[in-house]
A and B are shown apart, each in its own frame.
Chain A
């Protein structure tokens, strides 16, 4: 990690925290900090990504502004985190996308939607686009199967590859090794931390709005996270149905892909709405203002992908199906393309930091 103003600020604040340690009960960041006396750039990247932004240490800090020590860990870590995303992004020339992330994602969404709609209008007759289709292959009547698979495959693989490169860069920067991924106990511990969000105030709640403790943020995040997993599972089972069982979508309302997709979609919508509401309603003092745009854009994109998917389910027997399908695919395409350049990346770096923490605790 290169040296930046946020990094220097994080180092300054952590050196004060390390002489204090009052916050060590809140999360993994403080025990990890206590293992060190000096914080090199990689350590700071690790700690920033380990921070779950629960804001407990801001409200508990006797040195929070206006105190002259001016400690605001959640904000400082959030700003540094955003810079680490840039640092590890691949290909490097796209790193700038993190800087005005809200605008970038908004423009990308507009482009993808326009692209899909224009392509549909150009290559498909209005009769097909606005007609109602039923039975197996109804979706592919509007957008051909080959096109869908090709676009999803190419963008999906690209996103995966870009995320992987970013992760490898992060992992080596914070001092990780390849062999670390073959140690079951730390892996299990890290997985547990991820699935339960232990560090987001599992026991006492976190300061998601103000100095009062609450578990809302963790619950909304769970809805979003498990909703996302359910949607992923839905896509995976659908692929299996098509290729393994030679069944052609749309599937029956009570089929596994549809049930998983519906439940997941609702989870995502509820989670996103909750997260957005918390972002708006909460005290802004421990937040990083300039990152708000990107955060909101990503959550909105997720929400719109789900809403359009659920709408598609509702309208699939009607003449509205064609256009809804195009819109849904437009949002999903944006999501795929922006995965490595949006707030989504927090998931892989947080997971990496939690694994590093689990490894450190054992040695």
Chain B
């Protein structure tokens, strides 16, 4: 039984990948550990539950990874996507540590598999979890239970009392009842604040009401806000978030991976006025999907419509919701709630501008428009073969970038530049140190795992001193 009156060595806030890695590594270093997870057991595991892989450095091929992926290349990839908005020291520490993280993960119950169909381009750089992130989270919870880590679900940490650079106690709500917990050290691993629409509204205004949140609804950022109010230094741009265009029919929260749509490069995308607004064929979809969330967010009512014809319907991964289907463009417009005349004109203008070319979805082909604004620079084919299909799009927020500043020992920094004495952070709540902008597939789990291990180890060490 969990006894909240005795002080624990390490208190872990959150129940996702970073929290679990921290808890297990602290326990392995001999500490008594308590995990407090806001979600009920069925929804435990935060955004980590929705993941499928982790980007990992490796010197040679492994059972599930091909070739090699070395530190320099990994670092180059990260530097490029962030445009330099990263902390090189912490980034390289993360990259180097992923090599050892993989065997650690396997020792603690995580199984890997060859990369998923549809993501073969990642088979060299990313290790895929057998069954995805929920299977990983399940494995860690089992390991944690077997190691004697105490776990409370349905338990929100509402306040960490910070005095003289030290956390003195935690205020929690355990299954509705308020409690105070004391611990020698605390690891904050409570994720981002993307599910807090009120907070998003500060930067996006009313538009935020139309955002869909791809992951957990428990990412409310309460601890992040609480700590920054108490003088903890932050890292990352508060306005930045990873936003992709997803199916507008997705659930408001927790829709996860299936709501993604891969039809955009083969389509034209129009807004509520049936007007195009960006080059749909600028580059391969994996390189472009993350800008479309923002593009749709900038449109009126934060909605877009991707329109294709029968030629393209089998070129991309099946969608979770069936497309809206019609025999004419006008009928499709009516079904999508668009002005038929306007959509007919947009499609006609586009068809008119399409130049002949050799269509090939595997390369940046020569099918493009001429004299159209905005242009479509690849995979442009006339939309002329019924039936026609439409998918509604909305911005889907994956996670926010604002976090607390940490050092290489995962210690949370105060705004005067000193480290806190007994507060550590791991995962999305500190990812902004390394990922100031952009996104690299599999980096979220890499940061969470590496900093989780560091935070747990350091917290255990501090608790023993």
The CA-CA distance from A211 to B43 in the complex, in Å, is 14
Collect the chain A residues with CB atoms within 8 Å of residue B42's CB. 64-67
Collect the chain A residues with CB atoms within 8 Å of residue B260's CB. 19
Q: Does A157 contact B (CB under 8 A)?
A: no
Shortest B110–chain A CB gap in Å is: 11
In contact, B135 and A59 (Cβ under 8 angstroms): yes
Interface SS of chain A: loop
In contact, B131 and A15 (Cβ under 8 angstroms): no
Interface centre among B117, B134, B319 (most CB of A within 10 A): B134
Binary contact track B303-326/A, C-beta < 8 Å → 1, others 0: 000000000001001111010000
In contact, B118 and A25 (Cβ under 8 angstroms): no
In contact, A62 and B111 (Cβ under 8 angstroms): no
Q: Which of B114, B134, B258, B320 contacts A60 (CB 8 A)?
A: B134
Q: Which residue of B has the minimal Cβ distance to A60? A: B131
Q: Which of A15, A25, A62, A69 contacts B50 (CB 8 A)?
A: A62
In contact, B114 and A20 (Cβ under 8 angstroms): no
Collect the chain A residues with CB atoms within 8 Å of residue B251's CB. 68
Collect the chain B residues with CB atoms within 8 Å of residue A22's CB. 52, 116, 131-133, 257
Q: Does B49 contact A (CB under 8 A)?
A: yes
Q: Does B420 contact A (CB under 8 A)?
A: no
Q: Does A241 contact B (CB under 8 A)?
A: no
Q: Does A56 contact B (CB under 8 A)?
A: yes
Q: Which residue of B has the minimal Cβ distance to A26? A: B131
The CA-CA distance from A56 to B111 in the complex, in Å, is 12
Q: Does B113 contact A (CB under 8 A)?
A: yes
Q: Does A140 contact B (CB under 8 A)?
A: no
In contact, A19 and B138 (Cβ under 8 angstroms): no
The CA-CA distance from A98 to B129 in the complex, in Å, is 39
Collect the chain B residues with CB atoms within 8 Å of residue A15's CB. 318, 320, 322
Collect the chain B residues with CB atoms within 8 Å of residue A21's CB. 116-118
Q: Does B254 contact A (CB under 8 A)?
A: yes
The CA-CA distance from A172 to B393 in the complex, in Å, is 41
Which A1-41 residues sit within 8 Å CB-CB of chain B? 15-16, 18-26, 34, 37
Interface centre among A26, A59, A60, A68 (most CB of B within 10 A): A60
Task: Report if A62-B117 is in contact (Cβ < 8 Å); known contacts: A20-B257, A204-B111, A211-B142.
Answer: no
Q: Which of A18, A57, A67 contacts B131 (CB 8 A)?
A: A57
Shortest B314–chain A CB gap in Å is: 7
The CA-CA distance from A59 to B41 in the complex, in Å, is 12
Q: Which of A19, A23, A69, A213 contacts B132 (CB 8 A)?
A: A23
Shortest B195–chain A CB gap in Å is: 15
Collect the chain B residues with CB atoms within 8 Å of residue A57's CB. 131
Collect the chain B residues with CB atoms within 8 Å of residue A62's CB. 49-50, 132-134, 254, 256
Q: Does A212 contact B (CB under 8 A)?
A: yes
The CA-CA distance from A302 to B464 in the complex, in Å, is 59
In contact, A63 and B256 (Cβ under 8 angstroms): yes
Collect the chain A residues with CB atoms within 8 Å of residue B319's CB. 19
Collect the chain B residues with CB atoms within 8 Å of residue A61's CB. 134
The CA-CA distance from A34 to B119 in the complex, in Å, is 13
The CA-CA distance from A33 to B131 in the complex, in Å, is 15
Shortest A234–chain B CB gap in Å is: 40
Interface centre among B128, B142, B318, B322 (most CB of A within 10 A): B318
Shortest B230–chain A CB gap in Å is: 34
Task: Report if A26-B130 is in contact (Cβ < 8 Å); known contacts: A16-B320, A19-B318, A68-B251.
Answer: yes
In contact, A59 and B318 (Cβ under 8 angstroms): no
In contact, A67 and B320 (Cβ under 8 angstroms): no
Collect the chain B residues with CB atoms within 8 Å of residue A24's CB. 113, 116-117
Shortest A54–chain B CB gap in Å is: 11
Shortest A15–chain B CB gap in Å is: 7
> 10 A-B pairs, CB-CB below 8 angstroms?
A19-B257, A21-B117, A22-B52, A22-B133, A37-B318, A60-B131, A66-B42, A67-B43, A67-B254, A213-B111
Taking beta carbons and an 8 Å cutoff, which residues of B are in contact with A?
42-43, 49-50, 52, 111, 113-114, 116-118, 128, 130-135, 138, 141-142, 251, 254, 256-258, 260, 314, 317-320, 322
- 8 closest A-B pairs by CB: A60-B131, A25-B113, A22-B132, A60-B135, A19-B320, A19-B258, A211-B138, A25-B130
